[in-house]
Structure 1
Amino acid sequence: MATAAPRAASIWKAGLKGRCPACGQGRLFAGFLTLAPGCEHCGLDYGHFDSGDGPAVFIMLIVGFIVAGLALVVETMFAPPYWVHLALWLPLTIALAVGLLRPFKGVLIALQHRHDAGEGRRRDGG
């Protein structure tokens, strides 16, 4: 009886948990945002992955939408002084941005691996 090939890890599960995009077992990160050299479980080399500024763009849009919407609701319902807005929204903005950065980077790297994304090249050789 032939053994089945190992099933690829879910992009979302692997990315959000910070696991290897190939096997879903090994750690993707060595530090907070620093990629590990490779997967200790399946041996995938992480050296060619680069998420660039992609996660930051998505996070700015999401966090901006959430914070601006909540600030608008609080302003129209309670009309607090500006220092209250600063005390509420500055820590929330920082916490959301920092908290979402690692999972988004993991998902973008998993997408890059799944779709075998690489550097763009021209087909005509010019």
Structure 2
Amino acid sequence: MTDTQGLTPQKAPIHEDRPTKPALWKGWRGRCPKCGEGKLLHSYLKVNDSCSNCGEEFHHHRADDGPAYLTILIVGHLMAPLMHYMAFEWRPSPWVMASVFSTGCLAASLYLLPHLKGVVVAYQWARRMHGFDKTSEQKVSAA
């Protein structure tokens, strides 16, 4: 009576498993989220176009300002309670506070920024965001 042939669900393409936590750890270490061997960054914050070991492409990542926002969030949440504690417990001079916390913020930010950039790129890879999904590229080229 009614044709239900067009209503049958299509099977989704089977993707290889991309576990998020191991990918994030590899990104934190600055390694390729796929193989864990090749370098993700080739300078302080420049992402390689592809992995030198497995060939995974990274040129289409969209890390943008995410690592900077995360760095500010983390450093702010670490330094604010320390500053509060130090100001009310020891009452140092303003110059001591300014020099200690300026140095601390700068050091923590410079340490965290490349690590968090690796984490953001690895998260995008693991979640197949922004061109990291090979099946969507195959669909576009097939059309």
- Which range, TM-score by smaller chain? 0.7 to 0.9
Q: With the length of structure 1 as denominator, give the TM-score of the two structures.
A: 0.84
The equivalent residue for 1:111 is 123
The equivalent residue for 1:60 is 72
* Aligned residues: CA RMSD: 1.7
Maintained 8 Å contact 2:24/2:33:
no
Tell me the alpha carbon deviations over residues 67-101 of structure 1, each in whole angstroms, 9 at most, x when there is no partner.
Answer: 11111001111111110101110000000011000
- Following superposition of structure 1 onto structure 2, how do residues 81-120 of structure 1 map, counting pairs within 5 Å? 81-118=93-130
One-letter amino acid matched to 2:25: K
1-side partners of 2:62 and 2:85: how far apart? Answer: 38
The equivalent residue for 1:78 is 90
Give 1:37 deviation, angstroms: 1.9
Percent of aligned positions that are identical: 31
Q: With the length of structure 2 as denominator, give the TM-score of the two structures.
A: 0.74
Unaligned runs of 5+ in 2: 1-15, 132-143
One-letter amino acid matched to 1:56: A
The equivalent residue for 1:35 is 47
Does 2:31 correspond to 1:19?
Answer: yes
Unaligned runs of 5+ in 1: 1-5, 120-126
1-side partners of 2:121 and 2:100: how far apart? Answer: 32
Maintained 8 Å contact 1:38/1:46:
yes
Equivalenced residue count is 114
